[in-house]
Amino acid sequence: MQTAVSALSGKNVVVIGGTSGIGLATAIAASQLGAKVWAAGRSAEHMDKARAAAKAAEANTVQFVQLDTHDEAGMKALFSSIGTIDHLVSAATGGTRTLKPFIEQTQEQFEAAFGKLWGYAKVARTGAPFVARDGSITFVSGAPARRFKPNMSALSAVGGAVENMVRSLAVELSPVRVNVVAPGIIDTALFDWMGAEKNDRVAAMTAGQLVRRIGRPEEVASALIYLMQNGYATGTTVDVDGGQLLS
C-alpha cells in the first residue's frame, strides 16, 4: 500500500466527467492515494451528490468544477490555473447514445454518439501542453468496441475510434503516456431509468458473462489508477468487463 500511496502523493490529477459514476470513483480513489484532484462535470445535480460522496469517503483533496468536455475555453482556463498536470483522465460520455438497429437510426442519431470522440479529442488537444513529460492521459471506451451486439453499432464504432485514437496519440505525444480503459456493464446512473426493474434487467444482461454480476465504478477506477501509476504502460487498452469479451 505504501508504494501505491507514494506514486500519486502530491500529484495533480484532473478528471473530466468526474462528478458521477466511473469518473467520480476515480477522483475519490486518487484523492485517497494522496493526489490533489480537480473533478469536472457539467451537471449541477451531479455536483452536489459528488461533493457529498467525496466527503463521506474522506476524499478531502477533491475540488469540483462545473465544466463540459466540449468547452475548450473552459478546460484551458482550468488547466492554466493548475499549471502542471500529472495525470489527465476523461470519463465523460460527451455524446447521446441511440440503442437501436443501424438501419433504423437517423444519420443525426448515429453522429451524435461521436460526441464522445470529439470530446476526448478536445481534452487531449487542450490538455496535452499542460501534462508533465512523465505524466499520462487516460480515456474510457467500452466493451462494445470489440464485443459486437445488435443495436450497438454506434457504441461499437465510437469505442473502436477512441481506442485507435489512443494508440495514435501514444505515438504522437510520447513521452506522455496515453491509455484507455474499456469497461463492461457498470452500475452507474445510465441504468437508473430502469427503475424497479433494474435488478432483473441487469441480471439478464450479465447472465452470459464469466463474472455474472454488474461491475462497480470503483472496479473500473482501480484500472484508471493503475494506468496512472504504471510508468511503463502506454498505448494500452485495459479491459474491466467481467469477461464479456470471452462470453
Active-site annotation, residues = 141
Give the three cell numbers for residue 34: 494522496
Cα-Cα end-to-end distance for the chain: 33
Residue 105: what are its φ and ψ, rounded to 5°?
-80, 145
Rounded distance, CA 97 to CA 113, Å?
A: 5
175 prior amide bond cis, ω within 30: yes
Give the three cell numbers for residue 117: 470522440
Beta bridge pairs of residue 15: 39, 89
Give the three cell numbers for residue 57: 469517503
Q: Is 24 in contact with 55 (CB distance < 8 Å)?
A: no
